[in-house]
């Protein structure tokens, strides 16, 4: 299966009338992200194809795999934003490139006429206390101590959590368009990907409106606020603590079963997302809490936020500090190795960006009687 929305080179480049042997500058070539309308694709022209190869620019996730550490992370963030990455040269459009004639692309599949059945399945998570994070590093833990805490968290309010991740079909029905990285080969039953934290919050507000519930988020100047916090009974993202509490399903171990039985991950996914709800659920009735796609949570990225006894923690408060502020996501994805697919794994990403393996699932606070 091709990389998520990798435009063929025949579309991406056209050779000038007078070829040149000079390679583009270290600035990176730009790969266009398919717009939500699916109407047009912009292509660009540059010196020569040979020059592009010499520049070493990377425009797909497979290319990023050749890099390591921070360089690979920077490459994946660049590609996720619809750009080309060039080691040592940044992320953007190369000098001398310009927009060329737009080309028509295939129309999207028809929008679902009704909300998919998976959208209706929620489970009630009762209040309780648990030891958040890991107590010691082991073979399944990350190489740093970002998930090591000596903290007990108490969840005081029951909440409803969607049994499966939001799917492309659900997104399409609510929003009216498909995310830029959607491919027809995915189908509508796999978890939605390529959506930012902010877009997930917008979706949850729209879902609340459709069901005549209060909306939890307000939006202004690219920022997001959650005015009522946990008192809001509309759809919202889980807090990081709520997510881990639900993902564990009442067990102390970082996984609620054998990895192959409960998760789609690097070793068994064939590099693609899979329809939701096909692996074993946890004791609370939740599917795919580990693997398939990373799941956005509300909280701000913080290296060591949990300590001692904590009650209903919300890390970073009730407001997005800046449009590109890093937010947490949990659970791993179909692209991750087994050691990353566990309830304690923490990862962060800019709130205004998203990759094809980044998704989410809604929760709702149960209203007090």
Name the DSSP class of 60: S
- Are 76 and 187 members of one domain? no
Q: How confident is the model at residue 53 (pLDDT cuts 50, 70, 90)?
A: very low
CA dist 216 and 202 (Å) reads: 10
Phi, psi values for residue 365, rounded to 5°: -70, 135
pLDDT at 36 over 90: no
For the chain, the residue count is 369
Count CB neighbours of 344 within 10 A.
Answer: 22
What are the tens digits of pLDDT across the range 300-328? Answer: 999 899 999 999 999 999 999 999 999 99
Higher pLDDT, 172 or 367: 172
Asked whether residue 281 is assigned to any structural domain, the reply reads yes
Asked whether residue 152 is assigned to any structural domain, the reply reads yes
Q: How confident is the model at residue 94 (pLDDT cuts 50, 70, 90)?
A: low
Count CB neighbours of 217 within 10 A.
Answer: 24
- Are 121 and 243 members of one domain? yes
| pLDDT value of position 39 | 35
Asked whether residue 224 is assigned to any structural domain, the reply reads yes
Count CB neighbours of 127 within 10 A.
Answer: 13
The CATH number assigned to the domain holding 294 equals: 3.90.1580.10
Closest CA to 318 of 244, 216, 250, 245: 216
pLDDT at 240 over 80: yes
Specify the DSSP element, H or E, that contains 224: strand 223-225
Asked whether residue 110 is assigned to any structural domain, the reply reads no
Give the distance from CA 244 to its chain's centroid: 17
Higher pLDDT, 34 or 155: 155
pLDDT at 58 over 90: no
Lowest mean pLDDT among 31-35, 64-68, 286-290: 31-35
Q: How far apart are the first and last CA of the chain?
A: 51
Asked whether residue 3 is assigned to any structural domain, the reply reads no
Distances from the Cα of 212 to the Cα of 166, 215, 233, 234, angstroms: 19, 9, 11, 9
- Are 234 and 352 members of one domain? yes
CA dist 66 and 58 (Å) reads: 10
Q: How confident is the model at residue 102 (pLDDT cuts 50, 70, 90)?
A: low
Q: Say if residues 221 and 188 touch (Cβ distance below 8 Å).
A: no
Residue-by-residue DSSP string for 210-231: HTT-----EEETTEEE-TTGGG
Q: How many domains does the chain have?
A: 2
| pLDDT value of position 60 | 77
Asked whether residue 85 is assigned to any structural domain, the reply reads yes
What are the tens digits of pLDDT across the range 346-357? Answer: 999 999 999 999
Residue 220 tokens read as 């202004």
Name the DSSP class of 127: -
Higher pLDDT, 130 or 146: 130
Give the domain-ending residue among 56, 75, 104: 104
- Are 52 and 145 members of one domain? no
What are the tens digits of pLDDT across the range 185-228? Answer: 999 999 999 999 999 999 999 999 999 999 999 999 989 999 99
| pLDDT value of position 40 | 32
- Are 63 and 125 members of one domain? no
Q: Which structural domain, as residue segments, surrounds residue 330?
A: 117-365
């Amino acid at each position: 299966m091709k990389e998520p929305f990798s435009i063929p080179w025949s579309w991406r480049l056209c050779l000038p009338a007078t070829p040149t042997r000079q390679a583009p500058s270290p600035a990176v070539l730009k790969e266009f992200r398919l717009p939500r309308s699916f109407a047009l694709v912009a292509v660009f022209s540059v010196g020569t194809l040979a020059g592009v190869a010499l520049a070493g620019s990377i425009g797909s996730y497979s290319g990023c795999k050749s890099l390591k550490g921070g360089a690979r992370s920077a490459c994946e963030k660049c590609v996720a934003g619809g750009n080309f990455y060039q080691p040592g040269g940044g992320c953007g459009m190369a000098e001398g490139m310009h927009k060329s004639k737009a080309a028509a692309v295939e129309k999207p599949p028809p929008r679902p006429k009704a909300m998919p059945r998976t959208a209706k399945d929620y489970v009630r998570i009762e209040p309780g206390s648990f030891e958040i994070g890991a107590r010691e590093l082991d073979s399944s833990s990350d190489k740093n101590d970002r998930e090591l805490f000596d903290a007990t968290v108490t969840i005081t309010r029951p909440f409803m959590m969607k049994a499966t991740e939001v799917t492309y079909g659900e997104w399409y029905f609510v929003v009216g368009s498909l995310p830029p990285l959607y491919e027809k080969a995915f189908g509508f039953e796999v978890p939605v990907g390529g959506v930012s934290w902010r877009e997930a919050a917008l979706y949850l507000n729209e879902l609340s409106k459709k069901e005549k519930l209060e909306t939890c988020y307000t939006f202004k100047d690219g920022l997001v606020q959650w005015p009522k916090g946990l008192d809001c009974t509309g759809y919202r993202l889980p807090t990081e603590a709520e997510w881990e509490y639900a993902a564990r399903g009442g067990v102390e171990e970082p996984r609620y079963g054998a990895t192959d039985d409960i998760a789609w991950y690097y070793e068994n996914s064939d590099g693609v997302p899979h329809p939701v709800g096909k692996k074993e659920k946890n004791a609370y009735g939740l599917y795919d809490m580990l693997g398939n796609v990373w799941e956005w949570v509300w909280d701000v990225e913080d290296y060591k936020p949990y300590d001692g006894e904590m009650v209903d923690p919300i890390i970073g408060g009730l407001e997005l500090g800046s449009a590109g502020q890093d937010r947490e996501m949990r659970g791993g994805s179909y692209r991750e190795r087994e050691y990353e697919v566990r309830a304690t794994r923490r990862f962060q990403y800019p709130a205004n960006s998203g990759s094809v393996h980044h998704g989410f699932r809604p929760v709702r606070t149960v209203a007090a009687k």
